Structures are given as structure tokens and as C-alpha cells.
Structure 1
Amino acid sequence: MEACEAAGVPAREGMDSPQLKQRRQELNQQFQTGRVHERDFFPQLAEATGGLYTADEVRQVHHAWLLTEYAGVGDVIDAINATGNVETALLSNTNAAHWARHIDSPCGRVKADYPAIQRIMHRHASHLLGHAKPHGDIYRAFEDATGFGPGEILFFDDLPDNIAMAKQLGWHGVLVDYTQETAPALFAALRRYGVLEAEAVV
């Protein structure tokens, strides 16, 4: 397990029970939609490993699960913001523990691990909206929160199911291939949709 290795926690065998897998999936979904508090999530998830991991170990692995920010994404956001007539937004399937690392603290004392996100105008997360992609309710909640209608939204995501639902609801959707360089693909799509002129590429 890559996350275990990144967290410095030994990977242990024995979590293959269908019941334990289902319980972990349920807990992750509840955490992602704000239905379980962080203080309860890690102990309960530890129980759902059959006692193979402690709550502290689960927290460490969960913390190490996040990827680093994609190279060049900040340039993409800056280019969109510079147009002056297009607003940027984030719609993320996440949870309270990870979200705290996405966003600078209100007082600015703790800086986020993802500086590009700080330049996004509208930032919305599944655990705050109470729904997760690809459920249709989160897309409608996002529309209500931002004030934009389906035909006004150009949506990027790296999961086909999320893009499929967005298109079904009338959004413009672009599937991002996370195995390729992300920023050039985003720039190309933004030019294709007329959001950016060719000279905006950096």
C-alpha cells in the first residue's frame, strides 16, 4: 500500500473480509459527505480494519493519501482569473481532515499545502455540501451555491462517472487524463471552449 509506505506505517495483511471492506466504504462515504465527525471517523475506521491498525495509524495513512498539487495548475487558474469575465471554482470530493490542508486557516497562520486553490474564487467540498460526486445532488448544490446554471459551467474531472453525471445535468464536461501532464491538457481544453486565447498559454 503506497499510502502506508508514505506514512511510514507497515502494511498488514488480513483486511480482505467483505464485511470489513463494506464497512470501510460506508465510513469513507459518510466522512466525505459530512455525516461522521473527524474525532469519530478514525477510531471507527480502525475498528473496520479488524484491529490491524490503531486510530493513530489510520490517521497517518489517511493524511499521507493526498497527492501533491499538479504542476502548472496555478498558472491555469491565474490565466482564467486574468480574463476578468470567467470565474474559477472547485468542487471536490473530500473530507474535513483533508480540507483543512486544502485551505489556508481563517487567520492565515496555517498555510495550505495547495497554494493554487487559494486563487480559486468558489471553493466547495462534498463534506460541506452533504453530497458527493457523482450523485446529482452535489452538482445542483454547487449551482445553488455559485449562482451559475448548467450551461454556464465548464467542468474538469479525472473520473468518467463524474463527467458523465455532469453532462447528464447539462454541464460542459472535460475528462482529464491524470496519467498525462495536467496543465497543458487544461490549457488546450480552455482554448477549445473559447475561455482562453492561444497567447494565454504559458
Structure 2
Amino acid sequence: MQVEAVIFDIGNVLIEWQPENFYDAEIGEARRREMFGTVDLHGMNDRVDLGHNFRDTIYGTADANPAFGDEIRMWHDRWLELARPVIPQSVRLMRALQAKGVPVFALTNFGIGSFELAQTEYDFLSEFDRAYVSGHMGVIKPDVTIYEMVEADCGVAPGALLFTDDREKNIAAADARGWQTHLFEGPQGWADRLVAAGLLDAAEAA
């Protein structure tokens, strides 16, 4: 089926999301391993992505784990340093698609406050034709509900959606809905897929 809209995940597709790297640089790998092994920081972030208050969720976790309190608060206070750098070729691909009239959506696990903050740093996050942000939707990937919500809102047939995400479980959930999918392992592979789908030519995807 011809692709009618392309859907980008954001973390590790358009912007690198590797909090461990930030903490390794700030507090050292040993301390970071101890903290992540003791405190479920990714679970904390999932709550933010579900729509819980950005600051309160992180500060509450810090207060509940005072041995790592200062480090955990960095997740909020220095969040833009966790969510970087941009993946430039992915941004170029997004804009190249839109320049050819292909609608580009986002489907992302992202908190309300953290997404608003990211938009102040990264202009392309305000350029999607539609942005499906989990914090506003109250559900995160790979819950089937979030895919159903996208389908109902955009009105595009599932088989005409092409979705890229870096997590296999998120891709599998989209596959189960009948979406066309691409497991993102780097921007060149994604560029090649867009060319193969006839959405861009090689020069446009460079």
C-alpha cells in the first residue's frame, strides 16, 4: 500500500536519549551503575511520559532516595543535557518529506513538561503535521491504545502509515496493527527505507 503519512519516534531517532551517558560523564560509571541499580529511573521517566508532573515526579523520587537525591534531581534540572545531541540526518529526512508534501507525524513517549522544554531547544519538534505525545494521551508505547488513538485521530488507514522507532517492542505493536514499520538503527538505514518506499530520491535522502 502506498504510504500516506510517515511517523517518527523522537528519542534515539531525532534526538539521542541515553541518560546513562550523561551520568557517566557527571558522576562516573561506578556511581551511575549503583544509582540505576538501586532506583528505577526509567520507571520514573515512564510516569512522566504518562502525564505525571515533570518536576514533582523527579523531585519526589529524589526525596524518596536521598542517597542519590542530588543526582536524581539532575534528571529534571539538567534535562536538556540528557536529551542530546540531535541526529541531523533524521531531521533533514523529516523536512525533506514535508517539502514533498508527505505528512510527518510524531509518536513519542514524552512528558508534557519535558516536551515543552525540548521544543524551546529544538525547533523541529514544533514542525510535525501532527504530534502524538504520550503525556497528553495518558498512555505510552507499546500499549495498543496509543496506536488506536493515532489511527482514530489521523484518519489514515493503518497500512498507509510508515512508522520508525528504535525499540523492537514498539515496532512489534505497530506491526500488529498493520502499520508499515522500520526498526531505526541509524539514519542511513531509515533514509534507504524512505527511498525504497518511493517517498524520497537518493539526493533528497542524503
Distance 1:194 1:30, change over 3 A: same
Deviations 1:96-117 (A, max 9, x none): 23202332xxxxxxxx322333
For residues 185 and 21 of structure 2, the distance between their equivalents in structure 1, rounded to whole angstroms, comes to 21
Higher relative contact order (CA 8 A, sep 6+): 2
Which structure has more helix as a fraction of its residues? 2
For residues 135 and 142 of structure 1, the distance between their equivalents in structure 2, rounded to whole angstroms, comes to 12
1:125 aligns with 133
1:72 aligns with 89
Distance 1:148 1:13, change over 3 A: closer
Q: Equivalent residue of 1:53, what SS? A: helix
Deviations 1:65-102 (A, max 9, x none): 21221022232122211222x21111111112320233
1:158 aligns with 166
Given candidates 195, 200, 203, the residue that maps to 1:196 is 200
Q: Equivalent residue of 2:121, what SS? A: coil
Q: Which runs of 5+ in 2 are unaligned?
A: 1-19
1:167 aligns with 175
**TM-score normalised by L of structure 1:** 0.77
Please state how far the C-alpha of 1:199 moved relative to its aligned partner. Answer: 4.5
2:112 aligns with 96
Q: Is the 8 A contact 1:46 1:58 kept in 2?
A: no
Please state how far the C-alpha of 1:198 moved relative to its aligned partner. Answer: 3.8
For residues 138 and 165 of structure 2, the distance between their equivalents in structure 1, rounded to whole angstroms, comes to 19
Please state how far the C-alpha of 1:13 moved relative to its aligned partner. Answer: 7.2
Q: Is the 8 A contact 2:158 2:179 kept in 1?
A: yes
Q: Is the 8 A contact 2:62 2:69 kept in 1?
A: yes
1:81 aligns with 98
% identical equivalent positions = 22
For residues 201 and 12 of structure 1, the distance between their equivalents in structure 2, rounded to whole angstroms, comes to 38
Is residue 2:65 matched to residue 1:49? yes
Q: CA-atom RMSD, angstroms?
A: 2.5
Q: Equivalent residue of 2:84, what SS? A: coil
**TM-score normalised by L of structure 2:** 0.76
1:113 aligns with 121
Please state how far the C-alpha of 1:143 moved relative to its aligned partner. Answer: 1.7
Is residue 2:9 matched to residue 1:3? no
For residues 34 and 205 of structure 2, the distance between their equivalents in structure 1, rounded to whole angstroms, comes to 49
Q: Is the 8 A contact 2:147 2:174 kept in 1?
A: yes
Q: Is the 8 A contact 1:12 1:52 kept in 2?
A: no
For residues 162 and 113 of structure 2, the distance between their equivalents in structure 1, rounded to whole angstroms, comes to 28
Rg: which structure is higher?
1
Q: Which runs of 5+ in 1 are unaligned?
A: 104-111
For residues 117 and 58 of structure 1, the distance between their equivalents in structure 2, rounded to whole angstroms, comes to 20
For residues 138 and 90 of structure 2, the distance between their equivalents in structure 1, rounded to whole angstroms, comes to 27
For residues 75 and 25 of structure 1, the distance between their equivalents in structure 2, rounded to whole angstroms, comes to 29
Amino acid aligned to 2:191: F
